């Protein structure tokens, strides 16, 4: 299916496999770094139905280490095209791959305002769908600019932080090791950004900001400032849903709960290893404990790991007889779009 894109479009694509090692970034920058002037264009595909034709455009928001298109690999693998083919107007946001959720949120706000201006509709809203750090990024936008947002959907969202980030944060602050790791990751992100058309002056990469946002302490601090849609602090893991609607914004979430899903998928090795080291017997997707991902209306837990949630790697997700009864990632996104359409969103 053909796609028309602008090299500076609001999109990103990445190999979330890097996310397995990712969370080792973050320093200090100001929100003034977030201002950008991207002119987004939508993902296009041959339309075969109207099942996903939502009232408001869908904007997919990538997580940590997200970028545009690198060597034909998209972060949300084959998901934008499937939604566009089912009638949705779809954009893929492009924000810093490694920075705080607040700075990424400010970047996303500017991109949404650009889209609104281009549409000629001063009251246009958006359905934000965020994976991993894309979830708190979208939550930030909904909290500070609710007039821009119709709904927020968290997919394996880093809403309560990650114990993997906690492990990485044990590297002594200010140490030579921390400096080397942070600079290595920053340079890697700059390289990936250059390949995918990012402008580092508009979308700065500050790995230590990202790490601090993604620790459990960082997640708790974010929740105190922006609690919309989250279960009450201290809630049992049995509480799977938070407030369904706050300030006119609907909240939804689903999560992965199985680190190892496909022996043929090389990324499963990283997911399984991180699961053992960081979570022990706690239910998780390889990078996040399922209890930390809850937001708004709970839509289900699926036998997916953190990369399966965005149909990676290359659509090689889970296999086995039980998958005959398990929904595939692309189907989950299509069903959510249909749900948003039915809700008039």
Cite the active site residues: 132, 285, 306
The answer to whether 158 and 294 have CB atoms below 8 angstroms apart is no
Identify the sign of the CA torsion 118, 3, 319, 275: negative
Torsion angles phi and psi, residue 47, rounded to 5: -80, 125
Q: Hey, what's the torsion of the CAs at 313, 316, 317, 319, to 10 degrees?
A: -160
Other Cβ atoms less than 10 A from the Cβ of 165: the count is 28
Give just the sign of the alpha carbon dihedral 298, 65, 19, 328.
Answer: positive
| Beta partners for residue 297, in sequence order | 252
- Rg for the chain, CA atoms, rounded: 18
Nearest-angstrom CA–CA distance, 169 and 160: 16
- CB count in 10 Å sphere of residue 189: 30
Pick from 303, 266, 306: which is nearest to 286 by CA? 306
CA distance 182 to 205: 10
Tokens representing 38 are 């991207």
């Amino acid at each position: 299916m053909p796609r028309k894109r602008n090299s500076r479009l609001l999109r990103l694509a990445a190999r979330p496999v890097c996310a397995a090692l990712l969370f080792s970034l973050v320093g200090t920058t100001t929100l003034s770094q977030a201002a950008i002037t991207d002119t987004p264009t939508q993902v296009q595909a041959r339309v075969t139905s109207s099942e996903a034709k939502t009232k408001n455009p869908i904007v997919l928001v990538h997580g940590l280490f997200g970028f545009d298109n690198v060597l034909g690999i998209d972060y949300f693998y084959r998901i934008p095209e499937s939604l566009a083919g089912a009638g949705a107007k779809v954009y893929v946001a492009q924000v810093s791959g490694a920075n705080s959720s607040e700075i990424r949120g400010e970047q996303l706000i500017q991109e949404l305002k650009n889209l609104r201006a281009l549409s000629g509709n001063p009251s246009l809203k958006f359905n934000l769908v965020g994976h991993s750090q894309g979830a708190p990024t979208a939550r930030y936008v909904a909290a500070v600019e609710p007039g821009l947002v119709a709904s927020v959907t968290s997919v394996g969202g880093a809403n309560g932080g990650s114990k993997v980030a906690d492990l990485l944060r044990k590297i002594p602050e200010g140490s030579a090791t921390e400096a080397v790791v942070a600079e290595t990751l920053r340079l890697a992100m700059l390289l990936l950004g250059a390949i995918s058309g990012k402008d580092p002056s508009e979308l700065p990469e500050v790995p230590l900001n990202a790490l601090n946002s993604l620790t459990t302490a960082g997640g708790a601090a974010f929740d105190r400032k922006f609690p919309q849609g989250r279960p009450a602090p201290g809630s049992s893991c049995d509480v799977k849903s938070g407030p369904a609607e706050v300030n006119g914004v609907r909240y939804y979430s689903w999560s992965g709960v199985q680190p190892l899903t496909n022996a043929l998928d090389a990324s499963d090795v990283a997911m399984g290893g991180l699961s053992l080291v960081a979570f022990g017997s706690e239910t998780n997707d390889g990078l996040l404990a399922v209890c930390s991902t809850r937001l708004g209306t709970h839509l289900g837990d699926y036998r997916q790991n953190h990369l399966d949630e965005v149909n990676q790697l290359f659509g090689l997700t889970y296999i086995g007889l039980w998958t005959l009864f398990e929904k595939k990632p692309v189907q989950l996104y299509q069903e959510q779009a249909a749900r948003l359409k039915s809700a008039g969103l």
